[in-house]
């Protein structure tokens, strides 16, 4: 009996910066629940293992080497394989050929499997980056606290690009010129406490990945007393670049 593992896409974390594939035989230990044994490791190497694409660029991924174990499908020809991507929307892969098209900035995993079976035999990573022609940065700020905040954006040289006070329970959006890096600083005005301030750099490599950034200002929660704690803020890149 062939041994298979059924794996959801959420299990496969993207590993662009340290991608590696370990190939080994099947696990001979029985499962806790009745059924066939699992094969937790990939049985094929995909090439290219890691791809870096601009929006609109393409690449075809192939299954090149197989480990012949009970986990290996009986037919490993290209026509007998099926391809899928996760998460959807970053890159689209032709399910029959492995032909990948970059759609929007982000990280995607390309998986190969057998027809009619959801388990994966191998995976490759695709990073989709902003085109070099993109020359602006979009910053969206959302404040869900009862306090107003001062948001300041500076370029790599420390020059002020934008500064604005965002009222409590409101949002704002800026479009600023692209710099080698961007410094975000946020001051939270708290009537009952000392104003808090902090800053964070978005480095060149991160801006290369996406030009859209989201600053969220919210309230922390004290689980010991089940009460609202001091406010906090966080900045993160996102891939739905709709502008301001």
The domain spans of the chain are 9-129, 136-237
CATH superfamily of 9-129: Cadherins (2.60.40.60)
Query: Quick check: 231 and 196 in contact, CB under 8 A?
Result: yes
Q: Residue 176's closest CA among 204, 142, 211? A: 211
pLDDT tens digit at each of 244 positions of the chain: 444 433 433 333 333 333 333 223 333 323 222 223 456 568 898 999 999 898 889 999 999 988 877 778 888 899 999 999 998 888 999 999 999 999 887 889 999 998 877 678 999 999 888 777 778 898 999 999 999 999 999 999 999 999 999 999 999 988 899 999 999 999 999 876 666 778 999 999 888 888 889 999 999 988 888 888 889 999 998 765 556 6
Query: Quick check: 221 and 150 in contact, CB under 8 A?
Result: no
Helices (H), ranges, 2-47? none
CATH superfamily of 136-237: Domain of unknown function DUF5300 (2.60.40.2890)
- Distance, in Å, from the CA atom of 28 to the CA atom of 38, rounded to the nearest integer, reads 8
Q: pTM of the predicted model, to two decimals?
A: 0.54
Do 9-129 and 136-237 show the same overall fold? yes
Query: Quick check: 213 and 139 in contact, CB under 8 A?
Result: yes
Q: How far is CA 122 from the centre of its chain?
A: 19
């Amino acid at each position: 009996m062939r041994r298979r593992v059924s794996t959801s896409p959420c299990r496969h974390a993207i590993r662009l910066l340290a991608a590696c594939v370990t190939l080994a035989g099947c696990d001979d230990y029985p499962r806790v629940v009745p059924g066939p044994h699992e094969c937790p490791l990939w049985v094929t190497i995909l090439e290219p293992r890691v791809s870096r694409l601009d929006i609109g660029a393409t690449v075809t991924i192939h299954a090149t080497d197989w480990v012949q174990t009970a986990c290996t499908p009986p037919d490993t020809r290209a026509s007998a394989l099926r391809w899928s991507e996760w998460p959807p929307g970053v890159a689209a892969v032709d399910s029959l050929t492995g032909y990948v098209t970059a759609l929007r900035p982000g990280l995607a995993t390309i998986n190969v499997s057998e027809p009619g079976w959801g388990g994966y035999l191998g995976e490759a990573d695709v990073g989709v980056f902003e085109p070099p022609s993109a020359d602006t940065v979009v910053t969206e700020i959302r404040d869900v606290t009862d306090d107003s905040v001062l948001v300041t954006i500076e370029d790599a040289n420390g020059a002020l690009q934008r500064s604005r006070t965002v009222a409590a329970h409101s949002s704002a959006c800026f479009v600023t010129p692209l710099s080698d890096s961007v410094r975000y600083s946020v001051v939270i005005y708290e009537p009952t406490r000392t104003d808090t301030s902090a800053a964070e750099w978005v480095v060149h490599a991160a801006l290369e990945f996406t030009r859209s950034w989201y600053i969220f200002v919210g309230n922390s929660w004290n689980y010991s007393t089940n009460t609202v704690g001091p406010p906090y803020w966080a900045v993160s890149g996102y891939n739905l670049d709709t502008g301001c």
